[in-house]
Amino acid sequence: MNAPGTNIQETALALVADGKGILAADESNGTMDKRLEPVLDDPPNEDARRAWRELLFTTEGAGTHISGAILYDETIRQSTADGTLFPELLARQGIIPGIKVDTGAKPLAGSPEEKVTEGLDGLRDRIAEYHELGARFAKWRAVIAIVDELPSRNCIDVNAHALARYAALCQEGGLVPIVEPEVLTAGSHTLERSEEVTALTLRSVFSALADQGVALEAMLLKPNMVLAGSDCPEQASVEDVASRTLRCLGRVVPAAVPGIVFLSGGQSDEAATAHLRAMNQIGGQPWELSFSFGRALQATPLATWRGQEANAASAQAGYLQLAKSNGAARAGRFSPDNEREPVAVS
């Protein structure tokens, strides 16, 4: 295994510092437009995407609960309306800028129902450029769907191999890799099946990371929580999700990994926070248990904002509240003002 560079190891630890977690604001243009469309009067465009990110990144006090923000290629090059580049704005608040470097999940040759994430070609040079632009960590997301007898072994292994190639390149280029193998919640599978597929996937990922010499001390794992499929009639309790998820991770994830930063995966913000809180209440794990949420931090404030300047302050208050609640969940606690403030929307 490669010796981790001190800097990237320190960055990995800073990203999972007590009481803080990561904002995933790295939606591709297509995905961001899909989120903006239902709330805006006009069709979304580059400036609407920029304005939404500016609202998030200028939220005062967010740096108390947010350690890092993952950006998309377009976003890392954008600025506030008054001309401050986003990476600089974030860094001033003590929020570490990160960057999504995969180029998306594409149909897997020979098994087109499944996907393999692309983006390795030219990645060494892109990492160097992103580092220059201020990024200090990166993200690559693999998606594994559960449908009948799928995923195939091949789908799991090719995605694991690509995740490890990406992680090794990031560490070489001075970025902390967030390794994200997401087993999707969509479908009618049971909690048991989710645990089984998550374990198989993580075993393959850690085997590939070891084969390719990735320093575990200088990376973060971003997995799904173990949840029953969203269409499964039998949904698990918060306690069951927490204990299954920790059992699954405990069997597979080496203690050398400094932190696990969960994705929210389409859960409501309340559910994602409750699960994170319950896991931290169980405690006794070798890794920090934190968050790297997209929708669970953004969906509610986005619905408040609706593209209207008059709603910006309420939307920022909503985002800050969610960041605070998840920060408190890291210690197994409720935020003291956990009850959502009623927000005035014009």
Show the binding pattern over residues 160-199: x = contacts ligand 13P (CB under 6 A), - = does not. Answer: --------------------x-------------------
Show the binding pattern over residues 124-143: x = contacts ligand 13P (CB under 6 A), - = does not. Answer: -----------------x--
**Shortest gap between Cβ of 86 and ligand 13P (angstroms)?**
17
Cβ-based burial of 20 (10 A; exposed 0-12, middle 13-18, buried ≥19): buried
The answer to the question of residue 115 lying near ligand 13P (CB under 6 A) is: no
**Within 311-330, which residues bind ligand 13P (CB under 6 A)?**
none
Show the binding pattern over residues 21-60: x = contacts ligand 13P (CB under 6 A), - = does not. Answer: ---x------------------------------------
- What are the DSSP calls for 207-252, one per residue? HHHHHTT--GGG-EE-PPP----TT-SSPPPHHHHHHHHHHHHHHH
**Shortest gap between Cβ of 139 and ligand 13P (angstroms)?**
7
DSSP 3-state assignment of 189?
Answer: coil
The answer to the question of residue 265 lying near ligand 13P (CB under 6 A) is: yes
**Shortest gap between Cβ of 284 and ligand 13P (angstroms)?**
25
Q: How far apart are the first and last CA of the chain?
A: 56
The answer to the question of residue 155 lying near ligand 13P (CB under 6 A) is: no
Angle at 25 between CA 23 and CA 30, to 5 degrees: 155
Residue 120 or 128: which CB sits closer to ligand 13P?
120
Nearest residue to ligand 13P, using CB? 294
Q: Site size for ligand 13P, by CB under 6 A?
A: 11
Phi-psi region of 265 (alpha: psi -120 to 50; beta: other; left: phi over 0): left
Q: Is 222 a catalytic residue?
A: yes
**Within 57-86, which residues bind ligand 13P (CB under 6 A)?**
none
Residue 31 or 281: which CB sits closer to ligand 13P?
31
Question: What does the DSSP 8-state code read for residue 44?
Answer: P
* Sole binder of ligand 13P in the list 277, 295, 324, 330 (CB under 6 A): 295
Choose one: 152-160, 243-251, 253-261, 263-271; the region binding ligand 13P (CB under 6 A): 263-271
Residue 161 or 222: which CB sits closer to ligand 13P?
222
Phi and psi for 223 in degrees, rounded to 5? -100, 170
Residue 127 or 142: which CB sits closer to ligand 13P?
142
* Sole binder of ligand 13P in the list 137, 206, 287, 293 (CB under 6 A): 293
Helix/strand/coil percentages in the chain, nearest 5: 45, 15, 35
* Sole binder of ligand 13P in the list 264, 290, 326, 335 (CB under 6 A): 264
- Which residue, chain included where needed, has tokens 């969610």? 322
Greatest CA separation for the chain: 56
DSSP 3-state assignment of 105?
Answer: strand
- Distance between CA 74 and CA 33 in Å, rounded? 13
Choose one: 74-82, 103-111, 235-243, 289-297; the region binding ligand 13P (CB under 6 A): 289-297
Helix (H) or strand (E) holding 117: strand 111-117
Residue 261 near residue 223, CB atoms below 8 Å: no
Identify which of 221, 227, 322 has the alpha carbon closest to the alpha carbon of residue 265. 227
**Shortest gap between Cβ of 265 and ligand 13P (angstroms)?**
4
- Distance between CA 6 and CA 28 in Å, rounded? 31
Active-site residue among 114, 180, 182, 195? 180
Would you please indicate which residues are annotated as catalytic (active-site) residues? Answer: 180, 222
Binding site for ligand 13P (CB under 6 A): 24, 141, 180, 263-265, 292-296
